[in-house]
Amino acid sequence: MPRVVHIIGNGDLAPLYQKEQRKGMTLTCNLPPFEVPNAYATTIVDFKFMRGIDKGELAPPGEWICGVRPKAYCEKSPKFFMRVASRIKEFYTKKPKYAANYTDFNCGHFAAYWALEKGKADVVHFYGFDSVFDFNLRSYSDLVLKSDRGNINNNRLIENWRPIWEGMFKQFPDSEFVWHHKHDKFKLKKTENVRIVIDK
């Protein structure tokens, strides 16, 4: 049986995940836009996100897989770490060479890389990753933690984010990347291991 992982992003079309029952492991990113029963973990990569949790402004569900910057936050804030330690499944600090820095390596990248590199996923499904189809970086987490979504910053982020996916396609040629969206106008270089599912 293939190892199947579903990753729920924070974009407008994340609810496509709910269209049918999904079998396999499910990961969410930062703050999922709806309740996800039996999710394996929520992935967190941002320093400011940890600060929001520390201040009581955010409450990610379930257990967490945290990246480099959350790890650094916990090391600098031992009282906070003691408070949330039982929620942290692990600190995962690997970053592929084709990601220039941890700022460019966003939560979706992180979840996918963990699923592929550590989880040995054969198939990864993506929902709510609107930025690989459209000029759309709206995020559910922005409702509780504001980010700069102006056109200039959005363009910079898209230019930095999209090539990382292409690097991942090449690094894991034997794994299938399945993108769920409302159209098939994919903005990345499509390789043989990439499939698009149109969910209307």
| Residue the block writes with tokens 């980010």 | 147
pTM over 0.85, yes/no: yes
**Cα 200 to Cα 182: distance, rounded to the nearest angstrom:** 6
Q: Of 91, 93, 165, which Cα lies nearest the Cα of 124?
A: 165
On whether the CB atoms of residues 43 and 27 are closer than 8 A, the answer is yes
pLDDT digit string, tens, across residues 20-30: 999 999 999 99
pLDDT tens for 87-138 read 999 999 999 999 999 988 999 999 999 999 999 999 999 999 988 887 555 5
pLDDT digits (tens, 9 = 90+) for 31-90: 899 999 999 999 999 998 999 999 998 899 999 999 999 999 999 999 999 999 999 999
Query: How many distinct structural domains can be found in the chain?
Result: 1
User: What is the pLDDT, as a whole number, of residue 104?
Assistant: 86
Q: Is the pLDDT of residue 17 over 80?
A: yes
Q: Which residues constitute the domain of residue 15? A: 4-198
- For the chain, helix (H) and strand (E) counts, in that order, are 5, 8
d(CA 15, CA 72): 32
